[in-house]
Amino acid sequence: MPISASDGDHLRARKGANVGGGADIAAALADQFSNEPDYDREEEVKLRWKLDLRLIPILWLNIVLPAMDKITPSTAALYGFREDLDLKGEEYAWVGSAFYFGYLLWCFPSAQILQRLPIAKSMCAVMTIWGFVLIGAGFAHSFIPMIITRVLLGALEAPVAPGNFIIMTMWYTREEQPIRAGLFYTGLATLITGTCGWAVGFLPREYGWRSFFWITGGVSILYGVVVGIFLPDNPVKAKFITERERFVAIERMRADQTGIENKTFSRTQLWEVFKDPKTWLMFFFNIWVSIPNGGLTNFAPLIINGLGFSSQRSTLLMMPTGVIQTLSSYVCNFGVYYCAKRFTNMQLRGAFVIGGLMVGMIATVLLYTLPLDSYTSRLLALYWSYFYLGPYIVALGMNSANTAGHTKKVTLNAVVFGAYCVSNIIGPQFFKSAQAPLYPLGMGAMLVAYALSIVTMMLYMLYCWRENRRRDKVDDTASDQRVHADTDFQDLTDFENIHFRYVW
């Protein structure tokens, strides 16, 4: 249960006690650095730039390349993919959904992998393997082999996005996280797939879409090696920073009370995930908000093709969707960061989520109501319907920032990305082939999903606001990190830690 007044007294009496099960990996190092002189603003800024230049490009590619691999069937569909595999009825929609069955099945095992094994090395392994699987998909000649490869690809991607957010929370404070999430979580994969998809259009038909799979698979294998060499597992083991910089990196995280990493699995924290109201609010939010993604990822190229554009031109016209997604990410995440700096006593993350979702909702209404012969207007409406990405990323950042305790963090990530999978399995099923190119059922599902997302986010914000007020009544030291010795790096959860405050 959330902290009450008696809980606050109980925690204050347990100086240095660990309720979660094993201290954070930074605890011993923090004690070792206890006599280290405090760092200044110049040192912190210098370190932050060093981290940004090393980590953000890798975290960005960790998102871009899986996104590129994920949408290979939708680009391939423009070059005879459905005909060559003899896909009938709604089988193409199931090719899109199959990826997320694999993702869903492996969500919780991947959470254990992320906790028990080195994160960066695990991500290196799965990226390399999925490159080989993607190449194998290019040799498929029927529905069943393609479904198998899509399920395997989904399972292999399951640790990547959650791992990205865990790495971000190891290195960046809660104030810094939104802008970094906005920088690495973009839609720019369409610029690569659009260019590559246009180029393979010049190849003989029997090699066109297959070459697209082979090229993206080869790139993934090469990149997996890069991750293994250059991405550190955590601040304690990172070799690219000095001992002094390691001290600054760890001390910067102290006030957030979220810890760095803990390899000890805690059953108490596991069960707390499922007792936490925030878990279910964020679960259902991710169910609703990802339905547009599930539908548009697989059917947007066909919608554009249905407007009368050629296959090659359709691949190029898909590129602006990534630009809109990236714009959405920058507007929402940079907006959250700016407002947090400018208005220190205001919580506006949820407001940016709701505002961004309303943009996507309006675009979907236009896409549904505009005449079929209004080609330019319908194309622009389709582009702006991709504005959902920014709100989705802000919400993922809220989820990470509002969770403490390493077992709880990795488990909650599995729950949230499990919801993402369910939604992406459901989403394509609303887009019926017989309803092309308007897809009225799909558009209606997107509108309902946007409305439910907004309502759920409002409830999440209300819960966090009420819980913060309750904690303020029993603890007035939350903003003073000097009195946090009883809870610093003790792997306490946000429920157990009297000093923890939620962002909303």
- Is 34's pLDDT higher than 80? no
CATH class of the structural domain 23-475: mainly alpha
| Average pLDDT of span 130-149 | 93
**Mean pLDDT comparison of 42-46, 72-76, 432-436, highest-scoring range:** 42-46
In this prediction, residue 478 carries a pLDDT of 55
- Is 450's pLDDT higher than 90? yes
- Is 273's pLDDT higher than 90? yes
| Average pLDDT of span 47-67 | 93
**Mean pLDDT comparison of 61-70, 139-148, 492-501, highest-scoring range:** 139-148
Which is nearest to 381 in space by CA: 292, 290, 287?
Answer: 292
Mean pLDDT across the chain, nearest whole number? 84
More confident: 391 or 294: 391
Check if the beta carbon of residue 346 is closer than 8 Å to that of residue 446. Answer: no
- Is 118's pLDDT higher than 80? yes
More confident: 342 or 35: 342
More confident: 66 or 258: 66
| Average pLDDT of span 167-174 | 88
In this prediction, residue 234 carries a pLDDT of 85
Q: For residue range 173-212, what is the model confidence (pLDDT) as tens digits?
A: 888 888 898 888 888 888 888 888 888 888 887 777 899 8
Distances from the Cα of 224 to the Cα of 71, 127, 138, 360, 363, angstroms: 19, 5, 19, 34, 37
Residue type, 453: S
- Is 86's pLDDT higher than 60? yes
Q: For residue range 204-244, what is the model confidence (pLDDT) as tens digits?
A: 877 778 998 999 999 999 999 999 999 998 888 888 999 88
DSSP assignment string, 100-122: HHHHHHHHHHHHHHHHHS-HHHH
In this prediction, residue 26 carries a pLDDT of 56
The three-state secondary structure class of 254 is: coil
Q: Where are the domains of the chain?
A: 23-475
